[in-house]
Structure 1
Amino acid sequence: MNIPGDEFYILILDTLKKRGAETLQRALYLALREAILHGRLQAESRLPGSRVIARQLGLSRNTVNAALEQLTLEGYLLRNRQGTRVAQLAKRNIAHPSPEPVVTLAKRVSLFPAPTPRGTPVPAFTPGTPAINYFPLPLWRRLYDRVLREEGSALLAYGDPAGELSLREAIARHLALSRGITCDASQIVITEGALEGVNLCTLLLSEPGDIAWIEDPGYAGAKSAFAKTGLTMVGMPVDDEGMCWEGQHSDAPSLIFTSPSHQFPYGSVLSARRRLALLELAQAQKAWIVEDDYDSEFRYTGEPVPAMSGMIKHAPVVYLGTFSKTLFPSLRIGFMVLPPALAKAALPAIGALLRGGHRAEQRTLALFIEEGHYARHLAAMRRLYRKRYRQLREALNAELHVEHRVLAGEGGMHLTVAIDGIDDKAIVQQARAFQLAPAALSGYYLDTNQGQTGLVLGYGNTSASQFTSGIRRLQHLITLQQGGTA
């Protein structure tokens, strides 16, 4: 069946005149595709030869042929020695498209915690963000350029799935000095932040339906990872000695997730008594402890608290660390330390799950550690955060008049302020209008409607000059919510 000549060319010419910034080839392609989809060029219709179309439209034959070839490649046209005809497409009414479908996500998505807003610039009181403006960027750039100069295009290929050997060796030496962990590079796997380490633990060490103990309140990323892999989460309360499972009723867990050196968000330290008891329980139940050591480098009184993984021989502990908190978040480099037997058993799976990448960044970080820059940066940040911690405590004492309790210990980059009877989620939402981004304490609980209310105040990337005005603004919002006079 031949197409109507004049109507066809008038339609195409009209479309070409309105092409805007499109090339003639692209405009012709779009016009023909539109005519096919809307049924103006019906299935099995024969098109004139490219020479005829070019003459009628005033185009070059190459332009026409290129458009026809693209439509043929995509299946709209069929071309052979007998000519060009319109392909038979699935019947659908383009003029009356279907209504937008109702999207139903998987049930597990409802278990995910609310996301933390991210953006630039970072608002005041955002938890978990280090003082990125203090990072020695010129030094990092020089080291990065040096790596590229020495290694060149070799770094553009896939690397070892476990990560660059030089970085794993540097981390092993650092952990031996700073965390009392004796390990070698073969036990270390480089991850894209600590969250990927949690994901790997769930894949390697549990099955869907297994029980995972988590701190309640606790790290939202762990909840996402456990929900994603179909684990049954059981929340364990937190007190001044850290995770408190004694007296709780639960079936035996496969995974136990804890942040023993500086619990998030309460800030408590898991006592030696509970550490040893938890290790004993894990051994007896054949469970694995996932130790999240996210900010233990920032301890303001005494020495850093030793890691659980170094407390006993053959401890059933996978140790997680991250450079997102000690250096800068977008680096997205973390690591996990596996016990020797687990590292050997997991090696084939690691090769299947990871590909190895960010090689230049990993080599740069290895140099940063080995040449002493990392230790110096940590010392400088420890001094800065210690000062900010104390200044924030002073601002809270002076400006926060509602009854409250400060729960975080002397360490890390955040303070948690427990305040009974407030709608902390609403306060957090309102605070964003004033470039303040504290987190709602209740949001870190498994049941966000039943937990302690309050505010988690990050001070890592917040200047002390913002503390007084920021706390005063939060007090104002709390007063309004409680029906008082601002």
Structure 2
Amino acid sequence: MDYQLLFTRFQADAAHTRWPQQRQLHECLRSAIRQGTLASGTRLLASRALALELGVSRNTVLYAYDQLATEGFVLPARRGTVVASLAAVQIPKAAAPALRSGLSRRSQGMPTLPGSEMSVAFAPGVPALGSFPITLWRRLLDRAWRALQPAQLNYADPAGELALRTAIADHLRVARGALVDSGQVFITDGTQSSLDLVARAFADPGDKVWMENPGYQGALAAFRGAQLKPIGIAVDEEGLAPLASDWLRHRPKLIYVTPSHQYPVGSVLSLERRMALIAQARNAAALIIEDDYDSEFRHDGPPLSCMQGLAGDAPVLYLGTFSKTMFPALRVGFVVVPAALAEPLTALLARAAPRGRTADQLALAEFMRSGHFSLHLRRMRRLYRQRRDALVAALQQLGDVATVHGGSAGMHLALRLHDPQADDEAMSARLMQRGIMAPALSLHAVGARHQPWRGFLLGYAQVPAETMEALVATLAAVVRGGR
């Protein structure tokens, strides 16, 4: 065996060049043994001889031999170190394709969710991160960590830190008209985590869940993952519009809505429809999932009251998140459940979902209690209103071919094309090539029913007002067939 050639070839791999020499030799010999290059029963060179041949220190060789012996690849023998008889067991190459296609059938049809690359105009759901008071946040985090006791490094209350749950309940009562106390609030890792939780906790595989059509693809992913059956219900200018036949033919267990600012088209569910939906859900023994994802940003008038607070016994699971009001990487959301469901959900989480990130939650609770959260919201409302106004003004150049919807609230609006046959997917792809993310409304279809919305979802929260005119000019050129 030419150990010098073996070691030189191994070192030539760029992936190994930064490793210490001791590790390089150990990994080189282990790889050769696993591949059968050093066969079972082979007696390795004595440590002094191998060190001399490779030009390394004897300690380097001794380290490699000791590690191989610890891992069972070599055995000490009377005449030196010998490769173990079972060391060259290899995984058959035929197994690799099975691993690459090993996802479950239900997971392979999941919609793709937005990722960290969504920082360009007009990526939806991205707040103005440069305007977040990060220095203040660092200070609150540091204070929270300094105050932690050793016992708080253990798993925490599965419902979340009481201080944060109390701060959230206090805020929701004042700002959203919710009927809630801290015992009904459960902290999650964000809206997607909340959706996964309620889908699995309050429905069984095969149960029907109503969704707005077009609707939020993240919710669709959660419901499919829980093996529920999504039913798309049409959306118009007043929000979800179920037919009498829907209640008879597709009796739901869960009803998912975004009533304060429908995602993606931006319509607001009217009070009449809210009250009717609550009454009908109660009669059907269904639960309404109210996703209030960006309701804090109401541009034309005060924020609307949430559905959860419209009736004391409303069968509503209220979902909120700090990814829009604070920043996405915080990964904190919450679920508010009816009082009657708080105890069983607490018992379920105690068995299945230990919580952590105590310092983050305590810092957020202090951010809310101290008034910084309310101040930050006021600043963002002003900023987002300015950017909304600039975008709406720029979109006037498309008034003959498209209509703006949903600009009264939130961080995005919908641009609906007048042509119902428009290929918004192709246009969206061309815009992405020009550095503009404008997701096609047709891609938000839910279920087999036709949805007539064609156009784009335009997020404006992270887009400076002075850039809107040029960006919309690019959008207009693509819409009108320009290249």
| TM > 0.5 | yes
8 A contact 1:415–1:457 mirrored in 2: yes
* % identity of equivalent residues: 41
2-structure distance, mates of 1:278, 1:408: 21
Deviation string 1:140-183 (CA, Å, 9 cap, x unpaired) is 22222222233366654332221111111111111111111122
Q: 1:340 to 1:81 in 2, by over 3 A?
A: farther
Contact 1:320 1:336 in 2 (8 A): yes
Residue in structure 2 matched with residue 309 of structure 1 by the alignment? 308
* CA RMSD across the alignment: 2.7
Partner of 2:440: 440
Which residue identity does 1:261 align to in structure 2? S
Q: Single out whichever of 38-47 and 467-476 deviates more from structure 2.
A: 38-47
Q: CA deviation at 1:358?
A: 2.2
Contact 2:388 2:407 in 1 (8 A): no
Using the TM superposition, name which of 140-149 and 290-299 deviates more. 140-149
Q: How many residues align?
A: 472
Say which of 364, 385, 410 aligns to 2:408: 410
Distance in 2 of aligned mates of 1:194 and 1:13: 52
Give the Å deviation of 1:415. Answer: 1.0
| Structure 1 partner of 2:277 | 278
Moved more, 69-78 or 441-450: 441-450
Q: Distance in 2 between matches of 1:301 and 1:9?
A: 77
Kindly provide the amino acid, as one letter, of the partner of residue 461 in structure 1.
Q
Between 1:41-50 and 1:314-323, the stretch displaced more is 41-50
- Deviation track 1:363-415 (CA, whole Å, cap 9, x = no partner) reads 11111111111111111222222222222211111x22551122214111111
Indicate the residue corresponding to 1:470 in structure 2.
471
- Decide whether aligned partners of structure 1 residues 448 and 378 sit closer, same or farther in structure 2, where only a CA change above 3 A counts: farther
After superposition, give the CA deviation of every residue in 1:244-288 in whole Å (9 maximum; x if it has no partner).
Answer: 112443332111111112111121222222222222222222221
Aligned to 2:22: 25
Q: Distance in 2 between matches of 1:371 and 1:17?
A: 58
Asked whether the equivalents of residues 15 and 27 of structure 1 are also in contact (C-alpha less than 8 Å), the reply is no
Show the counterpart of 1:330.
Answer: 329
Query: 3-state SS of the aligned residue for 1:47?
Result: coil
In structure 2, the CA distance between the partners of 1:39 and 1:199, relative to structure 1 (3 Å rule), is same
Using structure 1 for the length normalisation, give the TM-score.
Answer: 0.89
Distance 1:450 1:130, change over 3 A: same
Matches within 5 A, 1:112-151: 112-119=110-117, 122-151=119-148
Q: Is the 8 A contact 1:214 1:258 kept in 2?
A: yes
Structure 1 portions without partners, runs of 5+ = 1-6
> Which residue number corresponds to residue 374 of structure 1?
373
| Cα distance between partner residues in 1 of 2:287 and 2:88 | 53
Within 5 Å, give how 1:82-231 maps onto structure 2: 84-87=81-84, 88-89=86-87, 92=90, 101=97, 103-104=100-101, 105-119=103-117, 122-151=119-148, 156-231=153-228
SS at match of 2:97: coil
Distance 2:96 2:376 in 1: 52
* Map of 1:423 onto structure 2: 423
What SS class does the counterpart of residue 462 from structure 2 fall into?
coil
Structure 2 unaligned spans of 5+? none
Report the Cα distance in structure 2 between the residues aligned to 1:416 and 1:158, rounded to whole angstroms: 43
Residue 127 of structure 2 contacts residue 325 of structure 2 at CA under 8 Å; is this kept in 1? yes
CA deviation vs aligned residue, 1:443-485 (integer Å, no higher than 9, x gap): 11125995421011111111111111111101111222xxxx6
What CA distance in whole angstroms lies between the structure 2 residues aligned with 1:189 and 1:273?
29
Structure 1 moving runs of 4+ over 6 Å: none
**What amino acid maps onto 1:347 in structure 2?**
T
Classify 1:167/1:14 alpha carbon distance in 2 versus 1 (closer, same or farther; 3 Å). closer
- Contact kept in structure 2, 1:16 and 1:24, CA below 8 Å: no
CA distance in 2, matches of 1:390, 1:27: 61
Residue of structure 2 in register with 1:65 after alignment: 62
Q: TM-score, normalised by structure 2?
A: 0.90
Contact 1:395 1:468 in 2 (8 A): yes
Post-superposition offset of 1:44: 2.8
Specify whether residues 13 and 222 from structure 1 end up closer, same or farther in structure 2 by C-alpha distance, changes over 3 A only: closer
Task: Find the residue that maps to 1:422 and give its secondary structure.
Answer: coil
Structure-to-structure mapping, 1:26-41, within 5 angstroms: 26-41=23-38
1:216 CA displacement: 0.8
1:418 is displaced (CA, Å) by 0.9
Asked if structure 2 preserves the Cα contact closer than 8 Å seen for 1:422 and 1:478, the reply is no
1:214 and 1:256 in contact (8 A); partners too: yes
Asked if 1 retains the 8 angstrom alpha-carbon contact of 2:40 and 2:88, the reply is: no
**Matching residue's letter, 1:392:** L
Deviations 1:281-336 (A, max 9, x none): 22222221111011111112333221111122222211100111112111111111
CA apart distance, 1:442: 1.0
Structure 1 position 212, deviation (Å):
0.8
Q: Is the 8 A contact 1:442 1:449 kept in 2?
A: no
Give the secondary-structure state (helix, strand or coil) at the position aligned to 2:106.
Answer: helix
Tell me how far apart the structure 1 counterparts of residues 426 and 254 of structure 2 sit (CA, whole Å). Answer: 34
Letter in 2 for 1:227: R
Correspondence for 1:245 among 242, 245, 253? 242
Does the 8 Å contact 1:113/1:443 carry over to 2?
no
CA contact (8 A) 1:291 1:317 kept: yes
- CA 1:389–1:20: 2 relative to 1, 3 Å: closer
Distance of aligned partners of 1:10 and 1:302 in 2 relative to their CA distance in 1, 3 Å threshold: closer
Change (3 A) 1:409 1:474: closer
Tell me how far apart the structure 2 counterparts of residues 149 and 91 of structure 1 sit (CA, whole Å). Answer: 51
Letter in 2 for 1:331: L
What is the deviation of 1:422? Answer: 2.4
